[in-house]
Structure 1
């Protein structure tokens, strides 16, 4: 930026594709964009953040004291193109009075879609069945009546009740429940944060809307014991770290399915691999895994035939990613100019 250019500088850590004109066409800001089609290098970010008024980050980009020191006092806003914000030191943001934007709501429907998809895939042995065809082994396959059978998601005459469980019962969980009701789900149970008071009015309304036999908040033990399909849809962080551990998994039904589309750290990967190998549960469908993206073919979960893993694609629809990018840009611009941010975390400062 030249000495005569007083436009605020914003740093963008990844090309946002079709949403980029929303930034590049503006004449009131200077845009500094990471130029490569891969994750932003830390050294580049630390160099270019100097004197910036705002930065747009993604989940791999850690926002900590190091980054703020490099930026200097000019930094007004951090906008992340994600719902999660574990990569941002929120107490430090509050201390420095730096506003923080994120992208909730817009990915609810896409993640709910994927959650149901993974439940079906895991229950119906999609990983092993797909591999059979992909590897060219179908012609050699010896069919028998119960080969590749798994637990049915929908109710049947011989199995007239189905209980779906949710670890976390926010927007995405409720959207997932809406999609599951037509399968004949009869009971819904969930566990939420101990700090949050039960919402009995909401629960009663949802039970009536979906004509469920029961919809109730339960403790973790009962959630594990009674869920036919359990969806992990809770935030990450210290409070939920390895909440689904060996003790939890041992309480689950032998024909139950675990789905995680929230945070990999909530589920103990080694314990889940053991649960699948020793048949404590039937299967698992994962969009997130602790330690991602460093999940190779030798990872314990990748070796389990009843574990379906996709590479964190919960929000990967054209519509949702465009909405997320637009929300992140709007948050960034609002923070830079001290105006309204569509989705702001905490307090921060306004001009």
Structure 2
């Protein structure tokens, strides 16, 4: 639609499915929606954002000087369908424009679910075993059977492993929701690292340790995190501070039977180092929902080639319920910003 009349124009970079009808039915805005079921083309966005009062973007849509210049002075709000906002140059937007993002809570449960799934898949050789069945090789007589065929490290405690330590690189909402799901497996110890700028929350940690009847819940340094974790969950923000925190030196400190799970940002892990760690058996396996350079991940990627690496295409929040909640909240942020009303999740700038 055009932006004629006095109605403000808003640009939406993706059809948001069942969340869209209430937006499209509004009579007080002109809506321009990217019409195809793929990522929005930059040229289309730069052309259609001219004169817009608001824009709703996704992670691939960079909000930078080029986009702001194309939009002009009418732009009042940038809303993103994501918890992270690394794709938005927030300082550049300035105080006269609003930036909104999504509460972490909106996808906490869905991401915690898939984090557990990847830990189980990576530990129990799901990639190797599933491929064997899918390729019709299970029935081959030369496959044979032995007591330790396809065995991997158990997530839960056992007679031979009465203690299990889970580690978290980052210990926010999703990490704590993941921990709650691990308790029925008999996890005995939890260790984590936090942001260097944050203070330890001893009262919270004591309360969680008591609630889950853990033998220990401790904030540790990154070296101890690597050395002691039986399963290590990466649930930390991306950015310069965490870039390649998990590198070759880190991976060499991990246990040979340990499992690494990343459901945060691909940039936290050095992919080449992880591929080497898997190939040379520094660690047992890896479960990844995110990979540096995604989605440009081909069959030749070093991690795709590793049998003990289970990889899914960034689907941590991909449940019908969560994606509907995310889209609805992003639209509410957009409309609130355009009309100067309430934005449920506005990114507040420091005073």
TM, length-normalised to structure 1: 0.97
Residue 121 (structure 1) shift: 0.1
Structure 2: 5+ residue runs without aligned partners? Answer: none
Hey, what does 2:117 align to over in structure 1? Answer: 117
List aligned pairs for 1:128-277, cutoff 5 A.
128-140=128-140, 141-277=143-279
> Partner of 1:341 in structure 2?
343
Distance 1:343 1:3, change over 3 A: closer
Distance in structure 2 (CA, Å) of the matches to 1:167 and 1:99? 31
Q: 1:97 corresponds to which residue? A: 96
Question: Number of paired residues?
Answer: 348
Check whether the contact 1:99–1:347 (CA below 8 A) recurs between aligned residues: no
Pair 1:66–1:162, CA change in 2 (3 A): same
Aligned-residue CA RMSD (Å): 1.3
Whole-angstrom CA distance in 1 between matches of 2:211 and 2:3: 62
Match of 1:296?
298
CA distance in 2, matches of 1:4, 1:223: 58
The structure 1 segments of at least 4 consecutive aligned residues displaced by more than 4 Å after TM superposition are 1-4
Q: Which residue of 2 aligns with 1:318?
A: 320
> What CA distance in whole angstroms lies between the structure 1 residues aligned with 2:274 and 2:97?
39
Tell me the equivalent position of 2:108. Answer: 108
In 2, Cα distance between equivalents of 1:61 and 1:334:
21
- Structure 1 segment 29-40 matched on structure 2, within 5 A: 29-40=29-40
- The alpha-carbon distance between structure 1 residues 288 and 34, as it changes in their structure 2 partners (threshold 3 A), is same
CA distance in 1 between partners of 2:294 and 2:184 (Å): 33
TM-score by length of 2: 0.97
- Residue 59 of structure 1 corresponds to 59
1:88: which partner in 2? Answer: 88
> How far does the alpha carbon of each residue in 1:227-283 deviate from its partner, in whole angstroms, 9 at most, with x for none?
000000000000000000000000000000000000000000000000000000000
Q: Distance in 2 between matches of 1:8 and 1:153?
A: 54
Q: Gaps (5+ residues) in structure 1?
A: none
Q: Is the 8 A contact 1:76 1:98 kept in 2?
A: yes
SS in 2 for 1:345: coil
Change in Cα spacing, 1:287 to 1:196, as seen in structure 2 (3 Å) is same
